[in-house]
Copies of this chain bind each other. A is one copy, B any other.
């Protein structure tokens, strides 16, 4: 698990209490839960959705771009330009540390681009493939867990098998991955949210990234799906830079190993932003070539709209600081409630992320489903237990993903108080037996 905050030592851990004390504790929690349920709340901590206040920050977009031609003089309204608008590619190329020819801008969904990439790999094979993946007997992906549910759903849709490795505070367990990929040629790739990972908040260190970039792989076309969804989504003044996976892969002699994704979904509008793909120039050429077999060009007006809005890479950073002002208090509220209510009891561990959209909560083994059920019955929607694992299967039934971005601050506190009550009741039930 990642960064854990359970430093309060005042309460007596539940596991150390006598049966009689546990009786009392259980009765107290039942009573607290009944009071909670009686309030008839309707709160939602399920998904990493930006709050209305965050979306409002970008509302100048609703009247942009105002003009039709970009700085090169290209008419963004017409067909063409498979690579996307050059102005916006330049801005995000700078942010991702790649030249413009190594980045493309596309539609509103980087997830759709990941599907596209998997489609091309599946039907045609990649830059370093010997054959299309569909022609392999078996294709396996490494999934660091807990991880992003939509990655796993998409992987499963393709019929790709999934093998899990632990996610640590400094990224996925690179030694475990290196061992797996060294001999198993069916392992064709891995997922990774490198910065402020969903849901753990982990930041993949350069050391871990270097191992992933350089490890020998039995499959010649082992692909790191580097989903840098939260690269600039800092919650503290420390703006941790992402590891330069493209550079590290090139250095290691595996230049085409990483495909990098990013988007403005959590910078401007979650539903109307711009997705990006970056990689070696060969990877970008490969992507655009296949794309062009069934596409004429992305929405370049939206690219121009975004380029106008940001102005520059610094404009993106400045904009993210405004998001931080909205988000940081909500994440602080989560920490405050968890520490205050659960600290020292030995019934939960949780992450204290420095960025991103999630707090990872690990409750007592075997109680996550019960917590989610209790919360639901009290009107608090939580992501289904197990969601952060392939096939929604959390072998220890302990993981819960908290997403505090969408509700307003008071609701976050209220919802977290409710979650704490549910965690405590489920723990008391479990330990009481």
Contact = CB atoms under 8 A, between A and B. Distances in A.
Interface in A29-58: 47, 49-50, 52, 55, 58
B111 A295 contact: yes
B77 A269 contact: yes
Interface in A260-307: 265, 269-272, 290, 293-302
A87 to B, nearest CB: 15
Interface string A287-329: 0001001111111111000000000000000000000000000
Given A67-B62, A77-B272, A271-B76, A154 B293 contact: yes
A77 B271 contact: yes
A159 B123 CA distance: 9
A294 B154 contact: yes
Given A55-B78, A62-B67, A65-B62, A271 B294 contact: no
Copies of this chain, complex-wide, total 2
Interface stretch (A112-120, A174-182, A380-388): A112-120
A109 interface: yes
Contacts of A147: none
A271 B297 contact: yes
A299 B157 CA distance: 23
Q: Is the interface of A mostly helix, strand, loop or mixed?
A: loop
Contact of A66 (B58, B63, B271): B63
Interface in A137-196: 150, 153-154, 157-159
A199 B28 CA distance: 77
Contacts of A78: 49-50, 52, 55, 269-271
17 contacts: A55-B78, A62-B66, A62-B301, A63-B66, A77-B271, A78-B271, A109-B296, A111-B294, A111-B295, A112-B294, A115-B295, A134-B134, A153-B293, A154-B294, A157-B294, A271-B297, A271-B300
Interface of A: 47, 49-50, 52, 55, 58-59, 61-68, 75-81, 107-109, 111-112, 114-115, 119, 122-123, 134, 150, 153-154, 157-159, 265, 269-272, 290, 293-302
